[in-house]
Structure 1
């Protein structure tokens, strides 16, 4: 990277948004084990969609400002951010969760050993079976999907400022074609014989979910060109940010379900809407608060929220394992409270971030940055969105 490049702008509000995306998933998964949040909207599952849009946005923000250290150096750097915490979560699962509650069990492709191999290599997201996709640490399917986005990103980012619209349209076409093809195949005799389920065939597949990542990339281009330097008062930006937050909250709680009801019995469109129908809402929210020029941006730039955003990847990777620990590895007479669970989760996530995630990044990244090339922590903090 040449030394005359501008430092990468530190978009602190987006670091904090990572925590809220992770928290959406944590709350939803807790309902499977405890009645703490009974009645929460099912569209909290769209927190994963939030991650994918954020990931596309941040990677584009970083790598249009600095040159990656070659294709394989880029992949190595990305894996250095994901794989160590992934391995830590797997070890934590094996050590502290009752053996019969660790993962699915079966024969052939569904054997525990095969599932483990696919998990270790982060390949599980391309297999259209829930017993593989959600095996071992179930949430790791999303970082498996993210790895495939990383493989494509160096090619997608080429000329992104000029051809973002074409790439977004192609991603939409690929996603739509894939889900219609999987829907048709799942109804054939062959599809039924191998147990293909339309939902699981598409849910984690990078070809299907790639539109969310490319939407994030495209959003960055629009934000950089039209929003980033738009002159408006603090009051105006505050109003824009508050409206974006309220709209996102309304959509997750009420709007998404109401909108999807109009799709009736159309299987493929319903699958797409149920899986990633909130991506455009998250794009609006990200575009509104990224610069942090209003009251919401100021709040999201708070040091505590930024730190929670920094440890959000560890929160995401550990949270379901910890739920299993409390639910299956302790006495059933133990009354687990939200305070007990979330205190333990924040402690473990902080330990994982400080003792595994950050040291592993320093050890495994492809090259060392000279001091004059050090940028704000944005690049280091946000590139592990998943």
Structure 2
């Protein structure tokens, strides 16, 4: 089952993250309230994690059992080629950081487990490191819990989510937290186990969706929920980075997936759907592309103004992402999915 209209929302989240990583003298940060939203727009990663859990259930709900080998091969084919491409693009401007240790951490996807080294090389890759944990666990969760219809699984998941929120927000106001750019900051914001709750509540939402799918026009409710997300980012001073926004993101994902109103027609428009398709490329290469473009604009053309750089950067990022999607992501994904892995017989 493919939910076409949800694909474009990935691009919205990716673009918000792109803006949040841009220099803060950008014109968008000079607009009251809008600046508050983009300063916290890295919460888009939380949306990715929740949506990932939701989509996994939707994609595999008809299977009696997930084959581990095929699942891991397909996940590897889906994300790893561009994950590596993001690192290689960084070589053009940040080659001094390419030590054996850094390359090993990045390629193995272990960086998010090592507070202090989470931002190694292409730093958006930390979230892919977290996704590796989700992908490792999902077949076991599906085969031994979800398909058996465990009646208490929703209680366990909600308790994990609730416990993570309490711990995360208490930790930030405790003496153990030393503020931004510290090991304690990297631990509370990026450690994989503190994001597992997001994937699990996404799984739970997917299970509920498959059991209760009822197409209706939810345009009004979706707009209200999206407005609530923006207002929460502006006025509520809590840590949303570790899944707290699930209280709004899950209804948004659920209702968009059930919606048959005007928003679904808009989000299913082919150009917008395509932006959603290239959103992974947009996210994973946006920092290397920014560094390369800045080097060209600053050193060759002497263009320094952030607003001008930004207006050149976004079209360039979209073009590079579309190229990588067509020339690398799709063909490599299709090729790797066709590769057959011989299973050794057990005696």
TM-score (norm 1): 0.75
SS at match of 2:28: coil
SS at match of 1:331: helix
Q: Give the Å deviation of 1:245.
A: 2.9
Structure 1 residues 182 and 119, CA gap change in structure 2 (3 angstroms) = farther
Taking CA–CA contacts closer than 8 Å with sequence separation of 6 or more, which of the two structures ends up with the larger relative contact order? 1
Q: Give the Å deviation of 1:175.
A: 2.8
CA distance in 2, matches of 1:180, 1:47: 18
Segments of structure 2 that go 5 or more residues without pairing to the other structure are 341-347
Alignment partner, residue 285 of structure 1: 252
Q: Note the aligned Cα RMSD (angstroms).
A: 2.8
Is this contact kept in 1: 2:46–2:241, CA < 8 A? no
1:131-163 superposed Cα distances (whole Å, 9 cap, x missing partner)? x11121010000100010011111222442544
| Structure 2 residue 113 is the aligned partner of structure 1 residue 113 | no
Q: Give the Å deviation of 1:31.
A: 3.2
Q: Give the Å deviation of 1:22.
A: 0.7
CA distance in 2, matches of 1:315, 1:30: 14
CA distance in 1, matches of 2:285, 2:310: 16
1:154-185 superposed Cα distances (whole Å, 9 cap, x missing partner)? 12224425444134134326635864897799
CA distance in 2, matches of 1:136, 1:348: 19
CA distance in 2, matches of 1:62, 1:324: 36
Q: Give the Å deviation of 1:282.
A: 1.2
CA distance in 2, matches of 1:343, 1:53: 28
Alignment partner, residue 235 of structure 2: 258
SS at match of 1:365: helix
TM-score (norm 2): 0.83
Is this contact kept in 2: 1:291–1:297, CA < 8 A? no
Segments of structure 1 that go 5 or more residues without pairing to the other structure are 1-8, 104-110, 261-269, 369-386
Is this contact kept in 1: 2:66–2:139, CA < 8 A? no
Is this contact kept in 2: 1:241–1:285, CA < 8 A? no
Alignment partner, residue 21 of structure 1: 13
Displaced runs of 4 or more, over 6 A = 180-186
